[in-house]
Structure 1
Amino acid sequence: MQGLGWLAAIIVGALAGWIAEKIMKSDHSLILNIVLGIVGALLMNFLLVTLLGATLGGWIGQLVVGILGACILIAGARMLRRA
């Protein structure tokens, strides 16, 4: 299975980070949204492959994975700030 490519990863990462930002009711910059979306997708893909042996493919699948991963990262950052 082939990945999305750099441009698609940036677009999907930005969209995933923005959606996660709205879900988690936080406020970030465009660059941080892109980073959260891409790193979140990497994190969730790793977890899905490790736990289930597969991940979601395509733009929509990677968008969902990126949103979930970015939400986890935002929640983790909030937990660290409170501690």
Structure 2
Amino acid sequence: MGLGIIGWIVIGIVAGWLAEKVMGRSHGIVTNLIVGVIGALLGGFIASNLLGLAVGGFNLMTLLVAFAGACLLLFVLSLVKRRA
């Protein structure tokens, strides 16, 4: 079962919020949603293409992949911000 738009929003907000807490950032709900959804795309790409994992649906694995992608996104953005 795939995720609908509401599912992506929920996963995105939760993943973005968790990444924000782990990475020591402070954002609003909209930024958490954006970071979480982009992180889900990034994490899904890495999980499926580089690790060979099948990720999808509304489950814990999807949340973990989105969370890992969101953390990676925040880490890369902090590196870019330091260099600028």
Cα deviation per residue 1:28-83 (whole Å; 9 max; x = unaligned)?
Answer: 11111001111101111111111122233432111101110000011011001100
Does 1:9 find its partner at 2:12? no
* Counterpart secondary structure, 1:56: coil
Match in the other structure for 1:38: 37
Number of equivalences = 82
TM (normalized to structure 1)? 0.90
Match in the other structure for 2:54: 55
**Where does the alignment leave 5 or more consecutive residues of structure 2 unmatched?**
none
Write the distance in 2 (CA, Å) between the matches of 1:28 and 1:55.
Answer: 30
Letter in 1 for 2:36: G
Match in the other structure for 1:75: 75
Between the aligned residues of both structures, percent identity stands at 38
